């Protein structure tokens, strides 16, 4: 009988049985069993005789000879419980998106968790998602990192792709903190550890499309287009949301590269898909991007038609701030371009307010830069300085490749007002121009070439996981 040959394993089994019954060693001490004997049994010491081990089993409501049967029954119960627990965790993951993260956290706290690494890692991953949804970025990071730690300790989790999922979640956290370079590094780590034959296959597509989005936001238009081109081979495997994000990003990149007719062709395909699947956020985004394409071609009537089409269903959006901010920014730019500065100012002020609500530094920077130009054109120099100054601070912290143009605008504002500040901003503009010619400060991306002359448009958001 194996359980008599392997005393250490037998001792471990009996110790687990005692703990499961809620008993301490001293509770089982009697005339035949001392606490030392019980300890020796549980430690697997061979000096304890079979009779005392059998007696100890009886005290635990077991029979020594039936231990294999008990173990089989216990294992079956544990497997059944873990199977039900996995279903519960899948249900809770739906609750995060369909009900609320608070309700999901409440359910997670109520779970009686076994000592199972897959379950424990999944719980940490789900907590990371919950706190991300709640906007508690640091708490989200804490749980994602704990899941990664558990993953690294247990090789049997390699096919779960939980580590890739957590790197994706962490990248989104850093994106929300406007740290795009760190976000991009984390995405690339997620792709490195991703297992093709594993679970959660959709994360590969999320990682790839987000890599293209972040490259585009950092100003690496050509690299973003190449990253996107690699994804078309997987198009049939992707969900509709990811496909629409691809079409949207491709159209935006075409606009940045001045390929406006290609952008229009791409968007027209995607709008039909978005309408059929009732993806209102994507419909809104695509109609706005279509308006940008026509604006860039000088067809202002068609651009207005597109912007207003999007505007009419803004009440159906899940994203109540960022997408309307995009629409208002582009409408503002359009009216500024046709010299209707009153309407331009109205829409751009709204765009700035909305972008501030979502802490989207890039969108806020673009809206404030356009509003600053609008004020400057109206000779409202004090108001223009305020917008350029705030945009400059955002650029200095997070988007140094955009700071140069802002410094030039500030120099123009101060040219006839303050010679010291005029020279200060002109010197900074010159310094940034030299850095830009020499490759700038973005050393982590030396393999990518920026497109410094492209006017940055809105980029789609990474898919919501």
CATH, residue 436: 1.25.40.10
- Cα gap 43→138, rounded to integer Å: 43
- What local confidence, expressed as pLDDT, does residue 442 receive? 44
Give yes or no for a contact between 43 and 11, defined as CB atoms under 8 angstroms apart: yes
Give yes or no for a contact between 104 and 95, defined as CB atoms under 8 angstroms apart: yes
> Does residue 355 form part of some domain?
yes
- Cα gap 147→359, rounded to integer Å: 27
Q: Which of 17, 32, 62 is the last residue of a domain?
A: 62
> Does residue 171 form part of some domain?
no
- What local confidence, expressed as pLDDT, does residue 389 receive? 96
Q: What is the pTM of this model?
A: 0.76
Q: Which of 62, 78, 103 is the last residue of a domain?
A: 62
Kindly provide the b/e burial profile for residues 449-459, where b requires at least 16 CB atoms within 10 angstroms of the residue's own CB: ebbeebebbbb
Give the domain extent around 386: 319-465
- Cα gap 177→146, rounded to integer Å: 20
- What local confidence, expressed as pLDDT, does residue 452 receive? 43
What's the structural domain count of the chain?
Answer: 2
> Does residue 216 form part of some domain?
no
Q: How far apart are the first and last CA of the chain?
A: 51
> Does residue 100 form part of some domain?
no
Q: Which of 22, 43, 62 is the last residue of a domain?
A: 62
Both tokens assigned to 393: 């601070």
CATH number at residue 25: 1.10.260.40
> Does residue 215 form part of some domain?
no
> Does residue 19 form part of some domain?
yes
> Does residue 257 form part of some domain?
no
Give yes or no for a contact between 25 and 35, defined as CB atoms under 8 angstroms apart: yes
- What local confidence, expressed as pLDDT, does residue 439 receive? 55
**96: part of which helix (H) or strand (E)?**
helix 67-98
Both tokens assigned to 347: 């829409």
Burial of 434 (0-12, 13-18, 19+ CB in 10 A): exposed
Both tokens assigned to 429: 């503009």
Report in angstroms the alpha-carbon separations of 128 from 93, 104, 140, 217.
11, 11, 4, 25
> Does residue 393 form part of some domain?
yes
- What local confidence, expressed as pLDDT, does residue 136 receive? 95
Residue numbers of the chain with a pLDDT score lower than 50: 441-449, 451-455
């Amino acid at each position: 009988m194996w359980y008599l040959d392997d005393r250490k394993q037998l001792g471990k089994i009996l110790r687990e049985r005692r703990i499961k019954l809620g008993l301490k060693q001293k509770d089982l001490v009697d005339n035949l069993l001392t606490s030392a004997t019980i300890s020796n049994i549980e430690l697997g010491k061979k000096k304890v005789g079979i009779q005392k081990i059998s007696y100890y089993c009886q005290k635990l409501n077991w029979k020594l000879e039936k231990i294999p049967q008990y173990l089989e029954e216990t294992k079956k119960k544990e497997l059944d419980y873990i199977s039900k627990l996995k279903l519960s965790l899948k249900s809770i993951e739906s609750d995060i998106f369909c009900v609320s993260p608070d309700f999901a956290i409440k359910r997670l706290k109520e779970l009686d968790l076994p000592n199972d690494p897959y379950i424990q890692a999944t719980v940490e991953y789900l907590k990371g998602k919950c706190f991300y949804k709640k906007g508690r970025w640091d708490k989200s990071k804490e749980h994602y990192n704990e899941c990664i730690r558990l993953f690294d300790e247990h090789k049997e989790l390699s096919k779960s792709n939980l580590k890739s999922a957590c790197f994706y979640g962490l990248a989104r956290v850093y994106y929300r903190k406007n740290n795009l370079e760190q976000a991009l590094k984390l995405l690339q780590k997620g792709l490195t550890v991703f297992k093709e034959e594993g679970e959660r296959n959709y994360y590969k597509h999320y990682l790839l499309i987000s890599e293209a989005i972040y490259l585009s936001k950092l100003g690496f238009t050509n690299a973003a287009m190449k990253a996107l081109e690699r994804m078309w081979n997987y198009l049939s495997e992707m969900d509709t949301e990811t496909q629409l994000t691809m079409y949207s990003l491709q159209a935006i990149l075409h606009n940045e590269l001045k390929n406006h007719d290609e952008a229009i062709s791409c968007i027209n395909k995607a709008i039909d898909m978005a309408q059929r699947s009732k993806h209102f956020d994507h419909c809104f985004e695509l109609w706005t991007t279509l308006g940008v394409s026509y604006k860039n071609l000088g067809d202002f009537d068609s651009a207005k038609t597109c912007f207003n089409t999007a505007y009419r269903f803004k009440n159906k959006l899940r994203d109540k701030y960022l997408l309307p901010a995009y629409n208002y920014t582009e409408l503002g730019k359009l009216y500024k371009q046709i010299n209707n500065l009153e309407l331009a100012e109205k829409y751009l002020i709204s765009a700035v307010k909305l972008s501030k609500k979502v802490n989207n530094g890039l969108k806020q920077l673009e809206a404030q830069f356009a509003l600053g130009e609008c004020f400057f054109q109206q000779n409202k120099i004090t108001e223009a300085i305020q917008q350029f100054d705030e945009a400059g601070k955002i650029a200095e912290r997070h988007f140094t490749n955009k700071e140069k143009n802002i410094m030039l605008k500030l120099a123009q504002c101060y040219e006839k007002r303050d010679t010291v500040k005029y020279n200060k901003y002109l010197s900074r503009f010159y310094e940034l121009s030299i850095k830009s010619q020499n490759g700038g400060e973005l050393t982590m991306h030396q393999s990518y070439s920026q497109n410094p002359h492209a006017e940055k448009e809105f980029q789609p958001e990474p898919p919501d996981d």
